A and B are shown apart, each in its own frame.
Chain A
Amino acid sequence: MAKKTTQATPKAAENEQQSATAQKPHILPDRVWLVLARRAYEEPLRQVGTVEADDIELARVYARSIYDEFAWVEMALVPRETLVTVIEA
C-alpha cells in the first residue's frame, strides 16, 4: 500500500506563521524582577511574585500596582539575573 502523505494546508501554514509572529517580542526583551515583601516587621522578606520590566522605575510601578493586595510594611525588587545558584534545581 502506498504511504499516504499529508501536505501542509495553506491554513496550517498561516497558523504556524501567526504563532511565530505572536512569539516574537514587539518591544525590547524585558528583565524579570523578583518581588519581595513583608506584612509585619517581625516577618522576613518573602518572594510574593515577579514583574517584567527593563527599567527599574517601571519595575517599581508594576510591583506596587500588581502586588497591592496587602498593606505591606516593606517591598523590594531584585533582578532575577543577579541570583547566584548554590544548589541547582
Chain B
Amino acid sequence: MQNVTQTPAVKTAIAQLIARLADNKYYLGRYFAEWCSGAPTLESAVASAAMAQDELGHARALYPLLRSLQPEAGAENEPETRTVFSNVSYLDQSFAAWEDFIAANVLIDGALTTVFAAALASSYEPLAGRARKVLQEERTHAMHGDGWVRRLAREGGAVHAAIERALQRDWDETLCWFGQDDDETLASAGVLDAPPSELRARFLAAVAPTIEAAHLAIPIRHAGDGWELTAPLPWDRWDAIRYRLNAADKQGK
C-alpha cells in the first residue's frame, strides 16, 4: 500500500489521531490491569489481565509513529516522558467500581475499535497495518463488554442502576470523541474511510442493540435500518484540541 504524501494540515491531523488513539489505549491498559486482582470472578480477572496486555501493546505500537509525524515534539512523543495526553476525561482516574470498567470497555474501547476498523484501508499505511492486528484482539474485548452489560443489567435493582449510571456518565463524551460533523480532514485524505458522522453511526450500530436489549436508559432509538441519538451532544463543552469534554462542566461525576 502506497503512503500518500500528506499536506502539513493532514500530517498534523494524523499525528493528533495517533496521539489520541495511543493515549486512550495506554490509560485503558493501565486501568484494566488494576482489576486483575479485584474483578468479580476469577475468569474476569484473567480476562482483565489479557485485555490490559492487549491495550498496552496497541499503545506501544502506536507511539513510535509520532516520532516521524511530529519529530519537533521530542520527548512529548514518548509515553515515559509525555506530559500532555489526549485521553477522554473519564480515563483521568482509575475505575472506582466494576461498572466503570465495563462502561469504558463498551464505550471508549468500542469507539477506538470503530476508528481502527475505518483505518483498515488507510492511506497512512503504518496505521492500516496496526489496525489489522488491533481488530483481531478487540473482538474478545467487545464480547467481554457486551456480556457483562447483559449480566449486570439482568441482575436488576441497584446493580442495573449502577451500570446504567456509568454508561450515562460516559456516553456524551464518547459520542463527541468521533469529532464534529464538519471536520472531514481525515476522511478526505483517505486516512479513515468515513467522516465523524458515519463513524458515530457505526459505533451506535455496534453498541445500541446490547444496550436496548438490556433495557438501559441511554438516549438512543431506532431510525430506519440504524440508530439515532435522542438528545443533542454538548458540543459547547467540547475541547477539539484535547478531544474531551471540559471537566469543569461535568457535574456529578
A residues near B (Cβ < 8 Å) are: 26-28, 30, 51-55, 57-58, 60-62, 64-66, 68
7 A-B pairs with the lowest CB-CB distances in the bound complex, closest first:
A58-B147, A62-B43, A65-B50, A57-B147, A55-B147, A65-B47, A57-B143
CA A59 to CA B50, docked complex, whole Å? 15
Please indicate the chain A residues that have their CB under 8 angstroms from the CB of B43 in the complex. 51-53, 58, 62, 65-66
Q: Closest residue to A53 on the B side, CB-wise?
A: B43
Interface centre among A51, A52, A54, A65, by most B CB within 10 Å?
A65
Chain B 15-46 per-residue mask, 1 if CB under 8 angstroms from chain A, else 0: 00000000000000000000000001101101
B250 within 8 Å of A by Cβ?
no
B residues near A (Cβ < 8 Å) are: 40-41, 43-44, 46-47, 49-50, 140, 143-144, 146-148, 150-151, 154-155
Distance in angstroms from B213 CB to nearest chain A CB is 12
Given A26-B40, A27-B40, A30-B41, decide whether A61 and B47 contact each other with a Cβ distance below 8 A: yes
Please indicate the chain B residues that have their CB under 8 angstroms from the CB of A55 in the complex. 147, 150-151
User: Looking at the complex, which one of A30, A60, A62 makes contact with B46 (CB distance below 8 Å)?
Assistant: A62
Please indicate the chain B residues that have their CB under 8 angstroms from the CB of A51 in the complex. 43
* Main SS class of interface, B: helix
Given A27-B155, A28-B155, A55-B151, decide whether A61 and B144 contact each other with a Cβ distance below 8 A: yes
Please indicate the chain A residues that have their CB under 8 angstroms from the CB of B41 in the complex. 27, 30, 52
Q: Closest residue to A52 on the B side, CB-wise?
A: B43
Given contacts A61-B47, A65-B140, 8 further A-B contacts (CB under 8 A): A28-B151, A55-B150, A61-B144, A61-B147, A62-B44, A64-B140, A65-B43, A68-B50
CB–CB A58/B40 < 8 A: no
Q: Closest residue to B148 on the A side, CB-wise?
A: A58
Distance in angstroms from A81 CB to nearest chain B CB is 18
A-B contact pairs, 21 of them (CB 8 A): A26-B40, A28-B155, A52-B43, A53-B43, A54-B151, A55-B147, A58-B43, A58-B143, A58-B144, A58-B147, A58-B148, A61-B47, A61-B143, A61-B144, A61-B147, A62-B47, A64-B140, A65-B46, A65-B140, A66-B43, A66-B46
Interface centre among A28, A51, A57, A61, by most B CB within 10 Å?
A61
Distance in angstroms from A59 CB to nearest chain B CB is 8
CA A60 to CA B46, docked complex, whole Å? 13
CA A60 to CA B47, docked complex, whole Å? 11
Q: Closest residue to A67 on the B side, CB-wise?
A: B46
Q: Closest residue to B41 on the A side, CB-wise?
A: A52
